[in-house]
Amino acid sequence: MGTKQRLPDRKSKITVREVARRANVSESTVSRIMRNKGLVAEATREKVMETVRAMGYVPNRIAGSLASLDSFLVGVVIPSLSNIVFPEVLQGVHAGLEGSDLQPVISTTEYNIDREEAVVRGILSWKPAAILLAGFDHTDATRKMLEQSGIRVVEMMDIDSTPIDIAVGTSHRRAGHAIGRHLIERGYRHFGYVGHDWDADRRARLRYDGLCEALSEAGLSIEAHAMADGASSVAEGRIQTARLRASAPQIDVAVYSNDDMAVGGVFHCLAEGIRLPDEFAVFGFNGLDIGKELPQPLSTVRSNRFLIGKKAIEEVLASPERPSEPTIIDTDFEVFIGATA
Amino acid sequence: MGTKQRLPDRKSKITVREVARRANVSESTVSRIMRNKGLVAEATREKVMETVRAMGYVPNRIAGSLASLDSFLVGVVIPSLSNIVFPEVLQGVHAGLEGSDLQPVISTTEYNIDREEAVVRGILSWKPAAILLAGFDHTDATRKMLEQSGIRVVEMMDIDSTPIDIAVGTSHRRAGHAIGRHLIERGYRHFGYVGHDWDADRRARLRYDGLCEALSEAGLSIEAHAMADGASSVAEGRIQTARLRASAPQIDVAVYSNDDMAVGGVFHCLAEGIRLPDEFAVFGFNGLDIGKELPQPLSTVRSNRFLIGKKAIEEVLASPERPSEPTIIDTDFEVFIGATA
DNA sequence: CTGTTAGCGCCTTCAG
DNA sequence: CTGAAGGCGCTAACAG
């Protein structure tokens, strides 16, 4: 299986027992003091804390957790750390955890639901207080484990499916629809789409579907596509934009699968001297910081990843018991009118 | 202190004992099977695995860890998740952990060494197999805890100080020096510096020191500074570049504290129609992806954050015992000649 | 306010 | 190849 790390026998042999002996009190007293729980005379507390400091005693939470059947861990399962949006979710998680003495344990799935299954099994074996995941795409086994665990389960990012327990995010389908409506109102009629791998990024697909719906309601459709094979990146955005414009010169606006791709599109235009948005317009998704700082701010939809992570934790802390009905928390989105579309 | 989460009494009452009873074997047998350790007849193994699956049994690692005195956790302490370099380090950590059944527990300090102290105390109470931190800037108490813990301690990012145990990173002082040499060779003589808060980012300061050294060796010096008060960002890069150019028009090249700031500088030039690198040259640090994709690739120094995280874990897995002498692992850097300087 | 008594769930001997 | 006993370090009752 894997490599186990035997704890060094060196220092860390300091236990409650030793502290109790040295301070001439019982183990429970030391325990009470360390946890700030129960009544203890100020005098004993100080005496004990003195020897605690002197010995450099650090309570063993593994043991504490086992004895009290309390958990101090929250599992967080995200597809990857290379897409900036997930670290942003983690920031929210950290913010939400502030002052709660729960520790996040983070694993990545690399966009693979079988890996997710393994990772979830591993995390559940730590008996976490709750588990947060990205999206709704799980194996049956994963789903079963999550249901059986009895702990709170948060599926983050979108709210376009029925969650196991809690969903926190925004409707990507509605966001895509809003993009379509917005661009139509601004007078665009010839739409292109620049995207990346839909199998790995199902939310990008949801946005695309919403967009198509809006166009179709107006009697329009997407006239050309340029799709990258793999993950989204600025580099792919440049490449695919070039391809799109070469293959379909009539396009006056391209909707991008996300801001990474869209920034690539903007860079292509800058490099080629294409005037934005008159000659060609670019619309992204995510509201990444970089987009705001471009010479012309990127037109995009802002979803609030930080808020997603934060709300997820807050919900879990607020009601540790899983209710019978699923909970859905909409963190909403906002159309940002930049200078590129 | 904080909110404790009582484990739900609902489902998760399945223990080795129940499994053993149902499968008509002893607890030890179940335990052996779950851990793939020791001899077990193929027939019993299958019988037991059957009931394990049927009951949805997930071993409790809290208990396992306590009983075996083995640890399955690695602590990772980073300043923040908002600076992209730290998620990159985490990626390397995850990569290095692949197949080792250790789980990373991540905490952030928000660039505050007192918070770091609290965070390290919390992590050590989980008796991790090792702990990774960013940098050498700790409180005395933190340092003491780390030394006493007996576990492997990795201080990541730079190697410009003597580590408690292991240092993994590159010499930022040497990198700064290399930037200076490189730019002098390319003929630049009037240097400016665009930076951000040195108190929070000591490595930026080290690079600056190295740069000054190189200039001084050539009889040159930095003629103008523009410093942001807070953290680095593309936005601050734009603002400070404008300030620098307004206050010191003679500057022909600006060295930036990092790529975020430098990209801001490039955006400023794009927006103002300043020709790079002839009219004004920009040099960054970090080798962020975004820099490569600019209409003109950013000239910068590449440090390999992924490698830092990966090497850190690899070293810790390779030798779990702390040797008497500190270990220093140089992940090196590379001057990247882009089109902006 | 403090001590005593039983475990928490599992793993490691050591027998058989 | 399998089982029985004891304990990992701590905490939840309960007494006093």
**Mean of pLDDT over chain A:** 92
Identify whether the C-beta of residue B322 lies closer than 8 Å to the C-beta of residue B286: no
Please report, rounded to whole angstroms, the spatial distance between the CA atom of protein residue B62 and the C1' atom of nucleotide C9: 8
DSSP string, B57-103: ----HHHHHHHHTEE-EEEEEES-SSSTHHHHHHHHHHHHHTTS--E
DSSP string, A261-319: HHHHHHHHHHHHTPPTTTT-EEE-SB--HHHHHSSSPPBEEEE-HHHHHHHHHHHHHH-
DSSP H helices in chain A = 16-23, 27-35, 42-55, 61-68, 85-97, 113-124, 140-149, 172-185, 202-217, 234-247, 259-272, 289-293, 305-318
DSSP B40: -
The encoded tokens of residue B101 equal: 């059944």
**Average pLDDT in the A122-133 region?**
94
Inter-CA distances, B64 with A5, A58, A105, A298, B35, Å: 13, 20, 18, 52, 10
Identify whether the C-beta of residue A107 lies closer than 8 Å to the C-beta of residue B101: no
Distance CA A191, CA A212 (A): 10
- pLDDT at B4 (0 to 100): 44
Please report, rounded to whole angstroms, the spatial distance between the CA atom of protein residue A28 and the C1' atom of nucleotide D15: 14
Backbone φ and ψ of B301, nearest 5°:
-115, 130
Distance CA B158, CA B135 (A): 7
**Count of residues in chain A:** 341
In tens, the pLDDT along B12-68 reads 578 999 999 999 999 999 999 998 887 888 889 999 998 998 888 899 999 999 999
Chain D positions with a protein C-beta closer than 7 Å: 1-13
In tens, the pLDDT along A168-221 reads 999 999 999 999 999 999 999 999 999 999 998 999 999 999 999 999 999 999
Measured from Cα to the C1' atom, the residue closest to C7 is A67
In tens, the pLDDT along A250-282 reads 999 999 999 999 999 999 999 999 999 999 999
Checking if the pLDDT of B9 tops 60, the result is no
- What is the longest distance spanned by two Cα atoms in chain B? 86
In tens, the pLDDT along B97-134 reads 998 889 999 999 999 999 999 999 999 999 999 999 99
- pLDDT at B105 (0 to 100): 93
A150–B11 C-beta distance less than 8 A: yes
Distance CA B52, CA B25 (A): 12
A71–B5 C-beta distance less than 8 A: yes
- pLDDT at A13 (0 to 100): 78
- Chain A residues inside the 8 Å CB shell of B3: 100-102, 317
Measured from Cα to the C1' atom, the residue closest to D5 is B28
Amino acid at the residue A54: A
Is the bond leading into A277 cis (omega within 30 degrees of zero)?
A: yes
More confident residue, A200 or A11: A200
- pLDDT at A71 (0 to 100): 87
Inter-CA distances, B5 with A74, A281, A330, Å: 10, 50, 25
Give this prediction's pTM.
0.90
Å between A160 CA and nearest CA of chain B: 28
**Mean of pLDDT over chain B:** 92
Query: Residue by residue, what is the 3-state secondary structure of A61-75?
Result: HHHHHHHHCEECEEE
Quick one: pLDDT band at residue A12, thresholds 50, 70, 90?
low
More confident residue, A37 or B154: B154
- Chain B residues inside the 8 Å CB shell of A125: 58-61
Q: Which of A39-43, A284-288, B160-164, B293-297 is the least confident region? A: A39-43
Å between A319 CA and nearest CA of chain B: 10
Q: Exposed, middle or buried by CB within 10 Å (0-12, 13-18, 19+), for A219?
A: exposed
The enclosing H or E element of B218 equals none
Task: Nearest by CB to A5, from B63, B70, B238: name it.
Answer: B70
Checking if the pLDDT of B175 tops 60, the result is yes
The single residue listed with the structure tokens 């909707």 is: A255
Checking if the pLDDT of A288 tops 80, the result is yes
- pLDDT at A293 (0 to 100): 87
- Does residue B17 approach strand C to less than 7 Å at its CB? yes
A289–B234 C-beta distance less than 8 A: yes
**Residue A189, CA atoms < 13 Å, CB-side half-sphere:** 3
Chain C positions with a protein C-beta closer than 7 Å: 1-5, 7-13
